[in-house]
Structure 1
Amino acid sequence: MTTPALPSARSPERSASSPELPALLPGMLRVDPDDADPARRGRVRRSVRDWVVDTLCFVIAILIGLMTYDSAMQTDPPEIVQLADLVVGALACLSLWWRRRWPVQLAVVVALLAIGVSSAAGAGVVLLFTVAVHRRWAVAAAVAAVNFGTALAFYAVYPDPVLAFRWTVLLSASVVAAVTLWGMLVRSRRQLVLSLRERAYQAEAEAALRVERARHLERERIAREMHDVLAHRISLLSVHAGALEYRPDAPRADVANAAGVIRASAHQALQDLREIIGVLRAPSSDDDPDRPQPTLAQLPALVEESRQAGMRVSVVDQLNADGAEPPPAIARCAYRVVQEALTNVRKHARGTGVCVTLTGGPGGGLAVEVRNRMPVGSDARATTSEIPGTGTGLIGLAERVELAGGMLEHGITRDGDFRVHAWLPWPA
C-alpha cells in the first residue's frame, strides 16, 4: 500500500451545501467543515468540481487497488478467489461515489473487506482520507486504528515475499498515519479559511452597521436642526398672520409692518431650509462639516424677534464669564433651549410673559431657565393650539442636552409657572 496524493471532498466554501456566510449572526463563527457535509445537511447535487474530484478519487483507488492486487496474487490463489477479489474491489471503488453521505460507515466496511480483498485497499485509503477531512479527530483516529488492524490482518493472509512481517507492520503504520495526518491538515486549513472568511463577512457587516448608524445619527441631527429652525420661524409667521386676521381694521402702517415681518420671516425660513438641504446634498468634509450655527451671541436677536411678534420677553444675564466664552457646542445648545422654549410659549401660552435667565460660569456649568405663566380660564381656551406641533420638541431638546453632557428638566412649578431648566457643562 502506498499513500496517494488525493484531493479531498469538496471544500465547504465552494460546496452547494455550505452555510450561507452573510446570514451568520455576528459573533457566531461556525468553522466546522462538517457543516458542509451532505450527510448532515441533506442530499444535494454535485457541482462540476465535485464530479472532477470524485472521478479522480475513483481512478486513484482503482490504480492503488490493482497495485495491491498484483502484489497479493503472487501467492497464486485459486482463480475463483482472484475473480471474487476483483469484483468486490470494484464494488468498493464504486462505493466512493457515496463517500460524502456515509464516510465513516463505508470506511469501516471497506477496511474489513480489505482483510481478504486486496483490490479494495485503494478505496480504503481514499475513505480513510475522507473521514480525516470531514470528521473530528477522535472519529478519524478510531477509523485509522481499524485500518491499521485490518492491514496487519491482510499481511497475515497475504504475506509479503520480500519484506519481513515487522517491516510490513511499520509500513502499514506509516501509511495509515500519513493519510490520517494529511486529512487532518486539510481539515485544519479549511477551518482556518472558513473562519477567516466568516470573520471578513462579520467585519463587513459591522462596518455596514457603523455606516448605517452614522447615517441614522446624521438624519436625526438634520431633523432636529430643521425642527429647531423652522418651528421657530413658522411660529412667528403664524403669530403675525393671526394678528392680521383678528385685526382687519388695523391701521395701514401696522398692516404693512406685519406683512413686512411675515415676508422677512418667510424669506429667512426658506434660507434656513436651503442651507439645511445644502448640507444634505454637499459631500461630507472634515473641514466644514456643518453650516454656521447660532450661539449665545445671537440670543439678543432671537429675543428681539419674539418681542416683535408681541411676546413679553425679559432676559436676566447672570453669567460670571469674566470675558470667557462657553464652548461652541455648549453655547449652541443653550441657544436651542431658549429657542425651543420660546416657540412652545407661542404655541401653547401665547400672551403670557416669559423670563429667560442665564447663570453660571467656567467650571460651574451654564444654567438656562425659561419660565412663563400657565394660562388659565378663558386665556387657556384662547391659546389652545392654533399652531400644530409634533409633541416631540422637548424630547428632542432633552436628547440634545444629554448629548452635550447636561441635564434638562421641564414641568409646571408650584407657583403655576411652566419651567424649562437646562444645565450644561462649562469647563474652567
Structure 2
Amino acid sequence: MVRSTWFLPSAVAAELDPDREDGDGGGRRVRRTLRDWVVDFCFFLIAVFIGLIGADGAAKNPALSEHMVVLDQLVGAASCAAVWLRRRWPVGLAVAMLLVGLVSDSAGGTALVAYFTLAVHRPFKYSALIGGLAVASIPVFYWLRPDGETPYLVSVGLISMVIVLVFAWGMLVRSRRQLLIALRDRARRAENEAALRAEQAQRLAREAIAREMHDVLAHRLTLLSVHAGALEFRPDAPQAEIARAAGVIRESAHEALQDLRQVIGVLRGGEAETSSGRPQPTLAALDTLVAESRDAGMKVVLDLRVADPKAVPAAIGRTAYRIAQEALTNARKHAPGAEVTVTVAGAPDEGLTVAVRNPAPPGDVPPVPGSGQGLIGLTERASLAGGRLAHGAGRDGGFAVEAWLPWG
C-alpha cells in the first residue's frame, strides 16, 4: 500500500498513508509523490510553451514598445518559475496571476495552470470568485493590449471560454478525488464495522458458551459435591447408603461428562441437536430433573399445570427447564433440607410462568461460595427469550425465583 501511494496524487496518498504528512511553517503540508513531480514538471512545460506563444505575440504586437516586450518576457519567465509553488499556495498564486495577467502575455500559461490548481485543491467558492474575476478581466486586458490580428470580441470570447473550461476541468478532477477518498473511507468503515460485528459475535458466543456450561454442569457438580460431602462426614454410614451415594456420584459424573461432550460438540461443528445423540432438554424433561433431585435427597414438590408439556415451543421449554434447574441447584446449596416447590403454569397466548420457592433452611447452613452469576445468566436468558425474571429473599428467610416467558 505504501509503495502504491507514490503513483497517486498527494492528497489521496495522505489519506491512504497519513504518516506521509509533515508540517511546515505555513501549516499542514504533504510530501509530493512521484506522480506529483511528473505532473508539476508537465505543467511547467505547458506554462513555458504557452508563455513562449504569448511572448511571440507580444513581440509582434505593434501597440507594445520594445521595453514593454522585454518586461513582459521577464514577468512571464518569473511566472513560469512560480508554477512549482502551485501546490503550496494555490489561492495566492491564482490571485497573483490574475493581476499579472493584466500586463503580461507571457504569463498566460502560468495563469491557466494556477486556475486549474485552484479548482483542484480548493472548494468551489474560491473557484467561483477568482474565476469570475478572471473572466471579467479579459475585456480589460484586450482593451489595454488589443490584438491586431484577431477581432476584439472573438479574442474576449475565446479566452473566456478557455478559462471556464480550465476551471471546469479542475473541479471535475477535484470531484473525482473526493469520490475516491469517500469510497476509501466507506471501505475502511465497512472493514471496521465488519471487525466490530465479528468481535461482538465472538463475545456473544463466549457469553452463550459460559451460560450454557454453567447451566449444564452446575446441577451435576452440585450433586457430586453433596454426596461426596455426605461420604466424607459420615464414614460410618450403612453400606447400602454408601453404595447409593456412590451410585449417584457415578451417575452424576457420567451425566456431567455427557452434557459437556454435547455442548462442546455443538460448539465445534454447529451441529444440530439430534446429531449429538442427546437432544437439548425441554419442559417435558422437567419430571426427570425433579426425580434426579429427589434421588439426591432433596424434597421437591412439582406442580405442573400445563396440559401438554410437549406442546410448549422447544426454545421456551428449554429456557423454563434451565430456570428450574438453576433454582434447584441454588436451593440444594443454600437451603439443604428445605422443601422446594416448583410451579409451572401457562397456556398459549398467555405465557409460561415458572416459580421455584423454598422456605428458610432447617438449621445452620455452612457458607457456600457463590458469585451470583447463575441468576444473572437466568435473567439474561429470560430476557433473550422475550420474558422477564425476578428473584429475591422472602420475609420468612426463604428464597423465590419467578419467571414469565412468552408462549405465542
TM-score (norm. length: structure 2)? 0.89
Q: Select 2:126's aligned residue among 131, 136, 139.
A: 139
Hey, what's the Cα distance between the residues in 2 that align with 1:358 and 1:374? 22
Cross-structure match for 1:44: 30
SS in 1 for 2:11: coil
Hey, what's the Cα distance between the residues in 2 that align with 1:286 and 1:248? 45
Q: Cα distance 1:189–1:45, how it changes in 2: closer, same or farther (>3 A)?
A: closer
Cross-structure match for 1:332: 318
The Cα shift of 1:164 comes to 1.2
SS in 1 for 2:331: helix
Hey, what's the Cα distance between the residues in 1 that align with 2:78 and 2:258? 85
Hey, what's the Cα distance between the residues in 1 that align with 2:25 and 2:212? 59
Q: Cα distance 1:211–1:315, how it changes in 2: closer, same or farther (>3 A)?
A: same
Hey, what's the Cα distance between the residues in 1 that align with 2:233 and 2:213? 29
In structure 2, what residue type is equivalent to 1:244? L
Cross-structure match for 1:5: none
Hey, what's the Cα distance between the residues in 1 that align with 2:204 and 2:11? 39
Cross-structure match for 2:92: 105
In structure 2, what residue type is equivalent to 1:383? P
RMSD: 2.7
Deviation digits for residues 88-145 of structure 1, max 9, x if unmatched? 2222122122212210111111221122222111110011011112222221011112
Residue 410 in structure 1 maps to residue 391 in structure 2: yes
Contact 1:347/1:383 (CA < 8 Å) preserved in 2? no
In structure 2, what residue type is equivalent to 1:53? V
Deviation digits for residues 386-409 of structure 1, max 9, x if unmatched? xx3321111110111111111212
In structure 2, what residue type is equivalent to 1:130? T
Q: Which range moves more in the overlay, 42-51 or 208-217?
A: 208-217
Cross-structure match for 1:383: 366
SS in 2 for 1:411: strand
Q: Name the count of aligned residue pairs.
A: 397
Contact 1:64/1:121 (CA < 8 Å) preserved in 2? yes
Hey, what's the Cα distance between the residues in 1 that align with 2:17 and 2:35? 19
SS in 1 for 2:79: helix
SS in 2 for 1:248: coil
Q: Select 1:117's aligned residue among 104, 109, 113.
A: 104
The Cα shift of 1:418 comes to 1.2
Cross-structure match for 1:12: 11
Contact 1:12/1:36 (CA < 8 Å) preserved in 2? no
Contact 2:265/2:271 (CA < 8 Å) preserved in 1? no
Deviation digits for residues 298-341 of structure 1, max 9, x if unmatched? 212211221122111111112234x7611001100000010000
Q: Which range moves more in the overlay, 119-128 or 143-152?
A: 143-152
Contact 2:47/2:80 (CA < 8 Å) preserved in 1? yes
The Cα shift of 1:261 comes to 1.9
Gaps of 5+ in 1: 1-8, 22-34
Residue 342 in structure 1 maps to residue 328 in structure 2: yes
Cross-structure match for 1:31: none
Contact 2:361/2:398 (CA < 8 Å) preserved in 1? no
SS in 2 for 1:53: helix
Q: Cα distance 1:39–1:118, how it changes in 2: closer, same or farther (>3 A)?
A: farther
Q: Select 1:88's aligned residue among 60, 72, 75.
A: 75
Point out which structure has higher relative CO (alpha carbons under 8 A, 6+ apart).
1
Q: Select 1:355's aligned residue among 341, 349, 357.
A: 341
Q: Select 1:372's aligned residue among 358, 364, 386.
A: 358
Residue 62 in structure 1 maps to residue 48 in structure 2: yes
Hey, what's the Cα distance between the residues in 1 that align with 2:310 and 2:257? 34
Identity among equivalent pairs (%): 52
Hey, what's the Cα distance between the residues in 2 that align with 1:190 and 1:394? 56
SS in 2 for 1:350: coil
Q: Cα distance 1:233–1:194, how it changes in 2: closer, same or farther (>3 A)?
A: same
Deviation digits for residues 180-213 of structure 1, max 9, x if unmatched? 1121222222223322332232233223322222
Cross-structure match for 1:151: 138
Q: Which range moves more in the overlay, 50-59 or 38-47?
A: 38-47
Deviation digits for residues 151-194 of structure 1, max 9, x if unmatched? 33332343212211111111122111111112122222222332
Cross-structure match for 1:194: 181
The Cα shift of 1:78 comes to 4.9
Q: Cα distance 1:11–1:39, how it changes in 2: closer, same or farther (>3 A)?
A: farther
Contact 1:333/1:400 (CA < 8 Å) preserved in 2? yes
In structure 2, what residue type is equivalent to 1:64? I
Q: Select 1:242's aligned residue among 219, 229, 238.
A: 229
Cross-structure match for 1:420: 401
Q: Which range moves more in the overlay, 267-276 or 214-223?
A: 267-276
Q: Which range moves more in the overlay, 289-298 or 234-243?
A: 289-298
Contact 2:323/2:378 (CA < 8 Å) preserved in 1? yes
